[in-house]
Chain A
Amino acid sequence: MENALISTKNLTKIFHLSTGPLGRKKVFVHAVENVNIDIASRETLALVGESGCGKTTLGRLILRLIEPTKGEVLFKGENIFSLDRERMRSLRRDMQIIFQDPYASLDPRMRILDILAEPLKTHNKDMSKREIVERVKELLSVVGLQEFVMSGFPHQFSGGQRQRIGIARALALNPEFIVCDEAVSALDVSIRAQILNLLMDLKERFNLTLLFITHDLSVVSFISDRIGVMYLGKCVEIGPTADIFDHPLHPYTLFLLSAVPIPDPHARDRAKLILEGDIPSPVNVPSGCRFHTRCPYLRDVCVSEEPQMQYIGNRGFACHFPLY
Chain B
Amino acid sequence: MQDNFLKIRNLRTYFFTRRGVVKAVDGVDIEAKRGKLTALVGESGCGKSVTGLSIMGLIPSPVGKIVEGEILFEDKDLAKLSYKEMADLRGKDISMIFQEPMTSLNPVLTIGHQVGEPLRIHSSLSPEEITERVLSILDLVGIPEPRSRLKSYPHQLSGGMRQRVMIAMAMICGPKLLIADEPTTALDVTIQAQILDLMLELMKKINTSIILITHDLGVVAEVCDEVNVMYAGKIVEKSDVFSIFDNPSHPYTWGLLRSIPRIGKKGKAKKLYTIKGVVPNLLDPPSGCRFADRCDKARDICREEEPPFTTIEEGHFVKCWLFA
Contact = CB atoms under 8 A, between A and B. Distances in A.
A–B interface present (Cβ within 8 A): yes
Interface string B139-176: 00000000000000000001111000000000000000
Contacts of B191: 50, 278-279
Contacts, number: 131
A272 B260 contact: no
Interface in A252-279: 255-268, 272, 274-276, 278-279
Contacts of B263: 217-218, 221, 245, 257, 260, 262
Interface of A: 50-51, 158, 160-161, 188-194, 196-197, 200, 215, 217-219, 221-223, 241-242, 245-246, 255-268, 272, 274-276, 278-279
Contacts of A188: 43-44, 215
Contacts of B194: 274-276
A215 B160 contact: no
A160 B278 contact: yes
Contact of A263 (B242, B260, B271): B260
Nearest to B144: A277
Main secondary structure of the interface of A (DSSP, over half): helix
A264 B245 contact: yes
Contacts of B256: 189-190
Contacts of B159: 51
A249 to B, nearest CB: 15
Contacts of B222: 261-262, 265, 268
A50 B273 contact: no
Interface string B232-264: 000000000110010000000001110111111
A276 B269 CA distance: 34
B260 A218 contact: yes
B223 interface: yes
Contact of A190 (B43, B161, B190, B245): B43
Given A259-B192, A265-B222, A266-B242, 10 more contacts: A193-B259, A193-B260, A217-B189, A219-B261, A221-B263, A260-B263, A263-B220, A265-B221, A272-B193, A278-B158
B245 A263 contact: yes
A190 B272 contact: no
Contact of A262 (B43, B215, B221): B221
Contact of A274 (B197, B218, B261): B197
Nearest to B43: A188
A217 B216 CA distance: 13
